[in-house]
Structure 1
């Protein structure tokens, strides 16, 4: 399979597994405007960038979609994210591409392990915090995102038939948010 066909099929490609000849083909595609270099060793098909989702695992290995990105995917908010919000390990250094825009959320390994799942989003298998963890994050970051946004997310979650309150409370305890969550639940339930 030609490297350009492979790029068009997957949308994103890393040069790690390419031969010299395939890299030359990729560079030719960049010169023709068929592909774009996102960062050193990561290339994207121009059409793939038109999608609203990108291959997070290729661009930020071990990154986890969170906050605005997760809330949008779970339809917990009506607001559209201005970037891809990705949680990574606190001490990790990473080079981000100029486009698309990413916002990194640095967390400890312990926090990163709570509520991680995989979800198929527009054909990409994306690591993302599950819905209950995402709701907990809205409460945790309520002063940064705004109380109104947090309220919208929690109220939307509470109306959903697929909610799991016991899992939400378990995550809230692990994230040290249980008392705060209880206060908001008393108001809206």
Structure 2
């Protein structure tokens, strides 16, 4: 279901109030709201119960206290990656300082003032490698899968640090359900196969 359709205008007298929608879903889009619903939303903002994230997107304050947000609503077609993905898969003990989201490099995205996002620009070809969905704290989040996320640690090792890459790769190797074949396939597509093989030979 399209996330915006949840908030579509309705003549049903039992239609859920904006306050209840915010409490239940955490986020609300202004698309299709009636004037009355818009007034409710602004009242919630004035009371400090909700916050405007970007044009047309509002969040309940309790939702912002969680460690995950609705990526699909804030950055449509964005894919959770790098630090955020590593944390979601428990590959690292480090806590992300922002939501890391991969998007197509030609896109222009308006980011909210809060929470903080870091955009990772990639080509369509790279964005298609290892995309999956993962439920995180009630949100169905687009995310790179486990093997793609490990390959990204190798690919970005000079930016994130060799120690971080080593922690991620060693944690992955110890997982009972790792898929080395898929890992090597992704590494070839991401052009890090030789580097990955070097580390695997040392630790396997």
TM-based fold match above 0.5: yes
Inter-partner Cα distance in structure 1 for 2:180 and 2:32: 44
**Bigger shift: residues 77-86 or 18-27:** 18-27
Say whether 1:38 aligns with 2:53: yes
Deviations 1:6-49 (A, max 9, x none): 11100011111322221111011101111110111110001111
**1:5, CA displacement in angstroms?**
0.4
Larger Rg: 2
Aligned to 1:49: 64
Structure 1 distance, partners of 2:149, 2:68, is 18
Using the alignment, how far apart are the partners of 2:171 and 2:191 within structure 1? 22
Matching residue of 2:170: 155
- Counterparts of 1:117 and 1:187 in 2: how far apart (Å)? 30
Give the Cα–Cα distance (whole angstroms) in 1 for the partners of residues 62 and 131 of structure 2. 29
Counterpart of 2:13? none
2:114 aligned with 1:88, yes or no? Answer: no
Per the alignment, in what secondary structure is the counterpart of residue 156 of structure 1? helix
Residue of structure 2 equivalent to 1:180: 195
Q: CA RMSD in A?
A: 0.7
SS of equivalent to 2:101: strand
* Aligned residue number for residue 76 of structure 1: 91
Q: Partner of 2:23 in structure 1?
A: 8
Among 140, 154, 158, the alignment partner of 2:155 is 140
Determine helix, strand or coil for the equivalent of 2:31: helix
Query: In the TM superposition, what is the alpha-carbon distance from 1:132 to its structure 2 partner?
Result: 0.2
Q: Return the TM-score normalized by structure 1.
A: 0.98
Runs of at least 5 residues in structure 2 that lack an aligned partner in the other structure? 1-15
TM-score normalized with structure 2 length: 0.91
Number of aligned residues = 189
Q: Which ranges in structure 1 are unaligned for 5 or more consecutive residues?
A: none
State the 4+ residue runs in structure 1 displaced beyond 3 angstroms.
Answer: none
1:22 counterpart = 2:42: no
Question: What are the superposed Cα offsets for residues 65-98 of structure 1, whole Å, 9 maximum, x if unpaired?
Answer: 0000000010000100000000000000011111
Question: Are 2:151 and 1:123 equivalent residues in the alignment?
Answer: no
